[in-house]
Amino acid sequence: MPTPPVDPHITKRVAELRAALHHHNHRYYVLDDPEISDAEYDALMQELIRLETDYPQLASPDSPTARVGAPPLAKFETVKHAVSMLSLENGFNEADIKVFDERVRRLTGRKTVLYTAEPKLDGVAVGLVYEGGRLVTAATRGDGVTGEVITANVKTVPAVPLVLLDAHGQRTPQFLEVRGEIFLEREGFKKLNTERLEEGLPLFANPRNAAAGSLRQLDSRITARRPLRIYVYGVGSTQNLNVASHGDLLQSLKQLGFRINPLTRSAITVEEVLDFHGELEGKRHALAYEIDGMVIKVDRLSDQLQLGNTSRSPRWAMAYKFPAIQATTTVDAIEVQVGRTGKLTPVAHLKPVRVGGVTVSRATLHNEDEVRKKDVRVGDHVLVQRAGDVIPEVVKVIDTKRSGAEKPFEMPKHCPVCGSSVVREEGAAATRCINANCPAQIKERIKHFAAKGAFDIDGLGDKLVEQMVEKKVLNSFADIFTLDQQVVEGLERMGRKSACNLIDGIGGSKQISFQRFLYALGIGHVGEHVAKILAEHFAGLDNISKATREELETITGVGPIVAASVVNFFSRTENQEMLQQLLKNGVVVRYETRGHRTPLAGMSFVLTGALTGMTRRQAQELIEAAGGRVGSTVSRNTDVVVAGNSPGSKLQRARELGVAVIDEAELRRLIG
Ligand code: IVH
């Protein structure tokens, strides 16, 4: 059937809208300097979505509406890069860089050479091919010669321009392949992992893996939900960019609409490069994203051409890495610890070693499969790693150092603490002690119950809990509230004063919000975030105790794993008895008096940007008092986004999903 002709006014309007939205997206995401209000942007996007829905024949792969993702692919196609994507030679100290500089000077015949130095991002390298000014292909590095085509996924990254325009608004240039790194910021990575933990999904080991995993989705709508960022750092093949230096090349790319790392320094001497490396290393951990060093590039492009490449890497560039956050040491023992839920965690005791500025003497081995996969044995030489504030872990065994005397690890058949049998459910990674009265579990449960975010009991620290459980002074949560001062005074390292303080601390903790109470119970998969969601949904303990899996699964933010865990917890007689005992011993759960008649009942909000008449916390309290919920990420389930001054990417997300956006004044009106 021939497609009906479209009124030229409509075609023109669609083109205008696309141009305007590309422009404003760039102002917002690349320049951080929006020119129009969110409501105006919103109206343009809505109009375009409406026209594209009404006139599907006007669909275009580079429309701003492509940011929300496309239907899933069956598999990734591969593509041969027009110019190979090489890797970089690594240098680790000043001497390596001086040798590099000498070689460059010798080969170019210059007395001094100027460089551009850029932070070396730890993400995923991509090549973006633009033809006639539109993004046609985005590919991974792959083996350097052939990569995977991930165009639909890359289009969801907001700072990747879908079209390139010159100063006159014309599509340009004829052909350009831009190279850069797609990555996740630390915050985005943490948030993603928190969500995965609560949903019972496997965690990403680091931001790099998370970025790679996000770009490897066959369903780009999933990628669209990951907060991916990009910095571009070079080109593959090009036509008429007309620049003489790498610094100018980056400026041209910036003009065309790409994000360039603002920490980049151009036209600097080798001495300045060395100073800059020290400076960058100093601020490394304060950056919003991970870097593992810097990249130095000969600035003059004609010199780059003259220097050429080896088969693996260019002779005009070098990575200058930061000192390792890894070190080698030996495994003295493997201890098995029992957690709050009975999970057995093998922990390697190491010969103490300095890594990234601190002494490490233990590293988690996670679970049985992990030990088997890495084949860690007692007596082994191992490579350990500590990145930022993450728990140290064993990266790998140095097999060449094995003597044959190393002892393989066996997961115990019985709990190392109470001697009960252990089980490993089919398909699960964790081995668990089945005895709910195992002293190790009791200790960990009580520590969690008394900790910050839960009952937050002053004076009830980990060591004291351990002692009290060992002496059978504490056997359950409820025992905390009937502790006798005399008994407490008789414990090791306790005097009259500290005993008195503890009893006061316990008394002061008895009144607790429903949310903290639910979190304190230590229900599997119920972290602080899920506890909050549950507390907002259920009117009280009775209601949640009777909830079915189906009912729980209808709640936004509650998946099947959480639902099953909650139902299982409340169905157990011993837990019901424990709850009754807590209430009998004076615990008072405070339920918020919002209920369903309040103006914002059941509505979910997300706040972004700075508010002027109130703090974010105040806004959150007002919304909650009116029966609404406040979330941190914008999804299809968000009802309203409240945007203040200089709003963040959440606003963009809201626009893409068609979520209502209001300002502070409107919020006040809603709340009344
Ligand atoms: S230039 C031919 N610049 O490092 C030169 N690479 O080890 C190619 N990388 O695969 C790379 N930040 O993924 C360059 N500012 C930067 C970089 C950078 C990170 C990555 C890139 C590349 C790897 C090479």
pLDDT digits (tens, 9 = 90+) for 495-505: 899 999 999 99
Does ligand 1 lie within 6 Å of residue 181's CB atom? yes
Question: Which residues share a beta bridge with 326?
Answer: 385
> Could you tell me the two tokens for 428?
């699960």
User: Out of 166-180, 405-419, 564-578, which region has the weakest mean confidence (pLDDT)?
Assistant: 166-180
Phi, psi of 148 (to 5 degrees): -95, 140
Nearest-CA residue for atom 22 of ligand 1: 87
Closest atom of ligand 1 to CA, residue 317: 5
Q: Is 171 helix (H, G, I), strand (E, B) or coil?
A: strand
Query: What CATH topology corresponds to 439-590?
Result: DNA polymerase; domain 1 (1.10.150)
Average pLDDT value for residue range 360-371: 91
Does ligand 1 lie within 6 Å of residue 312's CB atom? no
**Given a cut of 90, is residue 278 above it in pLDDT?**
yes
pLDDT number for residue 584: 95
Domain 604-671 has CATH 3.40.50.300: no
Ligand 1 centroid–CA 88 distance in Å is: 7
pLDDT number for residue 356: 67
Using most ligand atoms within 8 A of CB, pick from 84, 121, 273 the residue to mutate for ligand 1: 121
Give 375-427 pLDDT, tens digit per residue: 999 999 999 987 655 678 898 899 899 999 999 999 999 999 999 999 998 87
DSSP category for residue 300: B
**Given a cut of 50, is residue 596 above it in pLDDT?**
no
Residues above pLDDT 70, as percent of the chain: 97
Asked, as a colleague might, if the bond just before 202 is cis with ω within 30 of 0, I would say: no
Domain 90-321 has CATH 3.30.470.30: yes
Strand 640-643 vs strand 660-662: parallel, antiparallel, or unpaired? parallel
More confident residue, 169 or 446: 446
Q: Is 273 helix (H, G, I), strand (E, B) or coil?
A: helix
Return the amino acid letter for 239: Q
Residues above pLDDT 90, as percent of the chain: 62
Would you put residue 609 in left (φ > 0), alpha (ψ -120 to 50) or beta? Answer: left
Using most ligand atoms within 8 A of CB, pick from 90, 118, 120, 126 the residue to mutate for ligand 1: 120
Residue with tokens 């460089």: 115
**Given a cut of 60, is residue 117 above it in pLDDT?**
yes
Average pLDDT value for residue range 338-353: 94
**Given a cut of 60, is residue 665 above it in pLDDT?**
yes
pLDDT number for residue 389: 53
Does ligand 1 lie within 6 Å of residue 406's CB atom? no
Does ligand 1 lie within 6 Å of residue 178's CB atom? no
Average pLDDT value for residue range 311-339: 91
Q: Do domains 326-399+412-423 and 439-590 have the same CATH topology?
A: no
Average pLDDT value for residue range 548-563: 90
Distance from C-alpha of 657 to C-alpha of 662, rounded to nearest angstrom: 15
Residues with active-site annotation = 120
Q: Is 160 helix (H, G, I), strand (E, B) or coil?
A: coil
Question: Which residues share a beta bridge with 643?
Answer: 608
SS3 content of the chain, % helix, strand, coil (to 5): 40, 20, 40
More confident residue, 299 or 62: 299
Using most ligand atoms within 8 A of CB, pick from 87, 246, 261 the residue to mutate for ligand 1: 87
Distance from C-alpha of 69 to C-alpha of 150, rounded to nearest angstrom: 12
Distance from C-alpha of 111 to C-alpha of 104, rounded to nearest angstrom: 10
DSSP H or E stretch at residue 653:
helix 649-657
Distance from C-alpha of 479 to C-alpha of 483, rounded to nearest angstrom: 6
pLDDT number for residue 254: 93
CB distance 661 to 633 below 8 Å: no
CB-side neighbour CA atoms (13 Å) of 268: 17
Which residues contact residue 454 at a Cβ distance below 8 angstroms, ignoring those fewer than 6 apart? 448, 516, 519, 520
User: Out of 91-95, 118-122, 535-539, 632-636, which region has the weakest mean confidence (pLDDT)?
Assistant: 632-636
CB-side neighbour CA atoms (13 Å) of 92: 2
Q: Is 395 helix (H, G, I), strand (E, B) or coil?
A: strand
pLDDT number for residue 595: 45
Does ligand 1 lie within 6 Å of residue 234's CB atom? yes
> Could you tell me the two tokens for 204?
């990403």
Considering the four listed CATH numbers 1.10.287.610, 1.25.40.10, 3.90.180.10, 1.10.510.10, the one that applies to the domain covering 8-68 is 1.10.287.610
Strand 90-91 vs strand 604-608: parallel, antiparallel, or unpaired? unpaired
pLDDT band with cut points at 50, 70 and 90 for residue 195: confident
pLDDT number for residue 576: 95
Does ligand 1 lie within 6 Å of residue 121's CB atom? yes
pLDDT band with cut points at 50, 70 and 90 for residue 658: confident
Distance from C-alpha of 593 to C-alpha of 413, rounded to nearest angstrom: 49
Nearest-CA residue for atom 12 of ligand 1: 120
pLDDT number for residue 634: 86
Strand 588-590 vs strand 511-513: parallel, antiparallel, or unpaired? parallel
Average pLDDT value for residue range 518-523: 96
**Given a cut of 90, is residue 336 above it in pLDDT?**
yes
User: Out of 95-109, 147-161, 226-240, which region has the weakest mean confidence (pLDDT)?
Assistant: 226-240
Ligand 1 centroid–CA 574 distance in Å is: 58
> Could you tell me the two tokens for 486?
């005399």
pLDDT number for residue 69: 78
Average pLDDT value for residue range 194-204: 82
pLDDT band with cut points at 50, 70 and 90 for residue 74: confident
- Domain parsing of the chain, residue ranges: 8-68, 90-321, 326-399+412-423, 439-590, 604-671
CB distance 114 to 104 below 8 Å: no
**Given a cut of 90, is residue 125 above it in pLDDT?**
yes
pLDDT number for residue 387: 61
CB-side neighbour CA atoms (13 Å) of 427: 1
Q: Count other C-beta atoms under 10 Å from residue 64's C-beta.
A: 25
Return the amino acid letter for 508: G
Distance from C-alpha of 235 to C-alpha of 240, rounded to nearest angstrom: 12
pLDDT number for residue 357: 65
pLDDT number for residue 147: 94
CATH number of 326-399+412-423: 2.40.50.140
Does ligand 1 lie within 6 Å of residue 22's CB atom? no
Return the amino acid letter for 432: R
Distance from C-alpha of 499 to C-alpha of 509, rounded to nearest angstrom: 16
Ligand 1 centroid–CA 117 distance in Å is: 12
Q: Which of 412, 389, 441, 455 is nearest to 590 (CA)?
A: 455
Q: Which of 42, 34, 38, 35 is nearest to 17 (CA)?
A: 42
More confident residue, 240 or 371: 371
CB distance 337 to 444 below 8 Å: no
**Given a cut of 50, is residue 154 above it in pLDDT?**
yes
Closest atom of ligand 1 to CA, residue 125: 13
Which residues contact residue 595 at a Cβ distance below 8 angstroms, ignoring those fewer than 6 apart? 539, 601, 627
Average pLDDT value for residue range 342-354: 94
**Given a cut of 70, is residue 516 above it in pLDDT?**
yes
pLDDT band with cut points at 50, 70 and 90 for residue 99: very high
Which residues contact residue 550 at a Cβ distance below 8 angstroms, ignoring those fewer than 6 apart? none
Mean pLDDT of the chain: 90
Does ligand 1 lie within 6 Å of residue 578's CB atom? no
Give the Å distances, CA to CA, from 271 to 114, 115, 375: 10, 10, 45
Distance from C-alpha of 380 to C-alpha of 398, rounded to nearest angstrom: 7
CB distance 322 to 287 below 8 Å: no
Closest atom of ligand 1 to CA, residue 118: 15
More confident residue, 151 or 595: 151
**Given a cut of 50, is residue 187 above it in pLDDT?**
yes
Cα four-point dihedral sign 616, 617, 618, 621: positive
Distance from C-alpha of 473 to C-alpha of 480, rounded to nearest angstrom: 9
Distance from C-alpha of 263 to C-alpha of 233, rounded to nearest angstrom: 12
Distance from C-alpha of 435 to C-alpha of 340, rounded to nearest angstrom: 11
Average pLDDT value for residue range 604-625: 85
pLDDT number for residue 597: 47
> Could you tell me the two tokens for 43?
């109206």
**Given a cut of 80, is residue 35 above it in pLDDT?**
yes
Closest atom of ligand 1 to CA, residue 123: 13
User: Out of 17-26, 301-310, 586-595, 623-632, which region has the weakest mean confidence (pLDDT)?
Assistant: 586-595
Return the amino acid letter for 598: T
Strand 115-121 vs strand 146-148: parallel, antiparallel, or unpaired? unpaired
User: Out of 90-104, 374-388, 620-634, which region has the weakest mean confidence (pLDDT)?
Assistant: 620-634
> Could you tell me the two tokens for 658?
């068609």
**Given a cut of 80, is residue 625 above it in pLDDT?**
no
pLDDT number for residue 339: 93
Does ligand 1 lie within 6 Å of residue 232's CB atom? no
**Given a cut of 60, is residue 244 above it in pLDDT?**
yes
Does ligand 1 lie within 6 Å of residue 397's CB atom? no
